Copies of this chain bind each other. A is one copy, B any other.
C-alpha cells in the first residue's frame, strides 16, 4: 500500500500533534478548557472589548453552536457577560466579565510558561517561522 501525498500527510501530522498537545495542556489553563481559554483570549483582544458570537466562533475555529454551548456555563460563573445590540436584535455580543479578565491573566501566565517548557523555543529555533507559516495558512481559509 502506498504513502499519502504531501498535503494529506501534512494534515495528518497536524491532527496528531494537536491531539497530543491538547491533552498536555489540559489542566494547565487555570481550570479553563482550551476552548474557554481561547474565548477569553479573543475577547481580550477584540476592539471595543466585545464580539458577536458568530465572529468569536470564526476566530477560534468552532461552529456557532459550539460557542453557544461553551458560553452558557461561562456566563453563569461570571467569566463573560452578554450585551444585546440595539441595532440588530438577532445578535448578542459577548464581553469579558471582571472574573474572566482575572482568570485569563492567570491562565496566560501559567500556560505561557508551560508552552515554552514543552516547545522549548530556544532549541526549536524555527518555531517562530513555523508559527508564521501556520497563521498565514489560517488566514487562507
Chain A residues within 8 Å of B, Cβ to Cβ: 1-25, 34, 38, 41, 44-45, 59-63, 101, 104-105, 108, 111-112, 115-116, 118-119, 121, 124, 126-131, 133-135, 137-138, 140-141
Question: Given A10-B127, A115-B10, A129-B133, are A61 and B20 also a contact pair (CB < 8 Å)?
Answer: yes
B34 touches A131 (CB 8 A): no
| CB atoms of B138 and A13 under 8 A apart | yes
Query: How many copies of this chain does one complex carry?
Result: 2
A138 near B7: Cβ-Cβ < 8 Å: no
Q: How far does the alpha carbon of A136 sit from the alpha carbon of B74 in the complex, in Å? A: 37
| In the complex with contacts A20-B61, A61-B20, A134-B14, A7-B121 CB distance below 8 A | yes
Contact present for A1 and B131 (CB under 8 Å): no
Instruction: Please tell me if the beta carbons of B118 and A141 are within 8 angstroms of each other in the complex.
Output: yes
Contact residues of A: prevailing secondary structure: helix
Residues of B within 8 A of A12 (CB): 38, 41
Contact: B61 with A115, CB < 8 Å?
Answer: no
Which residues of the other chain, B, contact A138 by a CB distance below 8 angstroms? 13, 16-17, 20
In Å, the complex CA distance between A115 and B10 comes to 9
**Does the CB pair B4–A108 fall under 8 Å?**
yes
